[in-house]
Amino acid sequence: MVPLLLVLLLALLLFGAGFALKALWWIAVIVLVIWLLGFFVRPARGGGGRGRWYRW
């Protein structure tokens, strides 16, 4: 009985980890797309110079 519960617990943990990793991959792809859009579409500041969408 205990080995069966351990196997079920392990399967549940691996399923949860797989789902979390897949979700993190999608979030990383979305952030990358937003970063690339901000890199290529740079709004000009009031002075007419080349502006950036971030403040680094």
> For every one of its 56 residues, what pLDDT tens digit does the chain have, with 9 covering 90 and above?
888 888 888 888 888 888 888 888 899 999 999 888 877 776 555 555 555 555 55
How many domains does the chain divide into?
Answer: 1
49 within some domain: no
The Cα–Cα gap between 47 and 26 comes to: 37
DSSP code at position 49? S
Q: Is the Cβ–Cβ distance between 38 and 53 less than 8 Å?
A: yes
**Length of the chain as a residue count:** 56
25 within some domain: yes
50 within some domain: no
The Cα–Cα gap between 20 and 15 comes to: 9
19 within some domain: yes
pLDDT of residue 27: 92
Q: Is the Cβ–Cβ distance between 52 and 42 less than 8 Å?
A: yes
Which residues constitute the domain of residue 7? 1-41
Distance of CA 24 to the CA centre of its chain: 5
35 within some domain: yes
pLDDT of residue 21: 87
